[in-house]
Structure formats: structure tokens, C-alpha cells
Amino acid sequence: MLQLSMFNFFFYWAMSIINAFFPLLFRYKGLSPGQIGIVLAVGPIVAIFSQPLWGIISDKKQTVKKIIILLLAATLVIGLAIFFSPTMLLLIFFMLIFHFFMSPIQPLLDSLSTTFAKENGVSYGSIRIWGSIGFATASFIIGYIIGKIGIQYLWIIYTIIIVGIFLIALKLSDSKAPRKAVTKEGFKKAFRNPQFLVFLIAVLFIAIPHRMNDGMLALYLKSFGAKEGLIGLAWTFSALSEAPVVGIMYILMRKIPLLVLISIAGCFYTVRWFLYSLLSEPILLVSSQAMHSVTFAIFMVASLQYIASIIPREMIATGQTAYFATFNGLAPIIGSSVGGYLMEKFGGDYMYRMGSISALIGTFIVVILFLRERKVENEKQYA
């Protein structure tokens, strides 16, 4: 458990660099917000295909450890190419290759952590929480360091972190239990369920502004004069606020219907993005990142549980894969590219207002789903 917790902790240091500081690096290279949005969007495009591909390879070889080690080695080399790419076209090219190897590591790590937790009778959350702590710690520390030495030296920090993660990965152990693979037939069955399909559409509308914020927040803060240390602190706030809410979700889900919880998170998302459109003081924007707790934390846990409740048990892995393909694939593609365009043409405040509308639409769809389910239940009760 120690090795897995350490891997989660330091892997999310690398994720902090990608999510929080890559946009600043690209801005330093002279790219506009619109161009940065395009560069950030290419990663999720390849991730939609690379995550299932490496998952299938891992299932076929019955090893997660060796696949993660291979992916980390490739990530180190390709990542360095990104730091030294002088043009947008080269950045797009290397970001495509980078995410082909980098993006599958997180789901593989989650798979390894979940299996370990089941086999050893421990909580998955007790392992995964170290990722949140790592992300929060890294965002603050890296932001402070970059503020002192300059974003152009981010590649040194990146190299040290990836090498450290690689060494920890050598100490990991594979699960001995065979894993059920996600299949093409499973996807077909899942998408024949209209309830599941409509829910994924709602997820997409809510996730688009979330992922737009992931890519554009650093640039938005920078436009108001925020330093790198304060920008890193924004991500620290969001990561730290997430943990306690995830911890109490088990209790909340026993007392409140899942779609109601998801609707509540959607309402908070709507308010959150509208609030961002009004604020111009960096410290207030950074503080508002604490709303991550009542938006993403509630939304993610309740959504995964809801998916497990509406599709057959044998297709849960398929349903969750489709959810992550929507939230981590389609949504970042649209959010980054459209968000970058809106910020460049109309300003960050307009971008967040559009994000608020998108979240509201998704929330409305979830409410309709809940009312329809309640109606069906009442009809069955009085039939």
C-alpha cells in the first residue's frame, strides 16, 4: 500500500504540471489563448483512443506494472520534446504523442489501486486521497518555485518528478486476479439504454465548462496580474477542498437520491462559473476554487454510482469507461478549443458566462431525468 500511495502522490505532481502550468508555458512561448486552447484540445482527442487501447494491452498481457513503466519511459522523452518545441505545429505534434502515452497511466493506476484495495480489504479512498494531497502540494510548491526561477525552467522539475515516479513504479506489484476487459459488445449494449445515453449528454454539458476552466483558469488569473505562486495556490485550494466531501459522500448517497445530488452539483457549477465571470480580483478567484468541493466532488462520485445503478452489473466497467471518455475526452476537446476561442475573441468573463449556461443546460437535463424516473416509480407503485 505504501508504494501505491507514494505513486499516487507523486504521479499527481506530474498531473499538476500538465493541468496547472502547461497553459502558462505555452503562453510564455508566445501562443494566444485561442492557440493554447487548440494545443490543449489535441491531448484528449488521442486519449479517447489510447486509454482503451492500453487497457486492452494490459488485460491481454495481464500486467499493469510493466505497461505503466513503459508508458512513463516514453512520457519522459516526449515530455521533454514539448518543453523545447519552438512552434505551435511542433507542440501539437508532440502533445499528441505525449498524451498517447501519458493519458492511459491514470486509469491503469486507478485499476491497480481498486484491485489492491479489494484484495487487501482496505479503502480505495485511503489510497486515492494521496493523489489529491499530492496535486495540492505540488500546485503550491511548483507555483512558488516557478515564480522564483521562471516558467522556462519547468522542464527540470518535470524531469525530476517523472524519474522519481519511474523509480517508484519499479517497486509496484501486479494483481494476481484476472481483470474483465471492456468490450465492443459491452459498449453497444450500454448505448442502447436511452437513460444512460441521455445522462451522458447531461454529463457533457456540465463537464465542458469544468474542463474549460482547467485549461483557461491560469490564463484568466494571469490577465489580472496573478503571479505563478498564486495560480498554483488556486489548484491547491480545489484539490484540498475535494477530499472531505468525497469522504462524506457515502453518507449523503444513502439519504439523498443520486440524481438530486447530481442536480445540486450542477446548480453549484452554474453559480460557480457565473461568479467567476463577475470576479476580477485574483485572490477572490483563487478562493472560489474551493467550490470544487461542492461541484466536482459531488458530481463525480454520484455520477459513477448512478451509472452503476442503471446498467447491468457486467457492464459497469463499460459504463464507467464511457463516462470518463465523456468527462476526460470529449469535454476537454470542446472546452479547451471553444474556451480558448471565446477568451481570445470576447474575454474571459464572457467565456465563463457561456460555461454557466452550459452547466445550467446539463443540470436541467438531469432534473428531467429525475422527474421521469419518479413518475415511472409512482406508476409502478399504483399499477
Closest CA to 41 of 107, 88, 109: 88
The string of DSSP letters for 221-264 reads: HHHTT--HHHHHHHHHHHHHHHHHHHHHHHHHHHHS-HHHHHHH
Please give the chain's pLDDT, 383 residues, in tens.
Answer: 677 888 888 998 998 888 888 988 998 999 988 898 888 888 888 888 887 788 778 777 778 888 889 999 999 999 999 999 989 999 999 999 998 998 888 878 877 776 777 677 776 667 777 887 888 888 888 888 988 899 899 999 999 999 999 999 888 877 665 555 555 666 666 667 888 899 999 999 999 999 999 889 989 998 999 888 888 888 888 888 887 887 787 788 888 999 999 999 999 999 999 999 999 999 999 999 999 989 988 998 888 888 878 877 666 666 777 888 888 888 999 998 999 999 999 999 999 999 999 999 999 999 999 999 888 877 776 65
- Number of DSSP helices (H) and strands (E) in the chain, helices first: 17, 0
- Per-residue confidence (pLDDT) for residue 179, from 0 to 100: 54
Here the cell at position 334 is 470542446
302 vs 293: CA distance, rounded Å? 13
- Per-residue confidence (pLDDT) for residue 373, from 0 to 100: 86
155 vs 158: CA distance, rounded Å? 5
Position of cell 500538465?
A: 18
Closest CA to 134 of 19, 291, 229, 239: 239
The string of DSSP letters for 31-92 reads: --HHHHHHHHHHHHHHHHHHHHHHHHHHHHHT-SHHHHHHHHHHHHHHHHHHHT--SHHHHH
341 vs 10: CA distance, rounded Å? 33
CA dihedral 94, 98, 101, 105 (to 10 degrees): -170
How many residues in the chain?
Answer: 383
Strand, coil or helix: what is 175? coil
Closest CA to 258 of 308, 209, 296, 311: 308
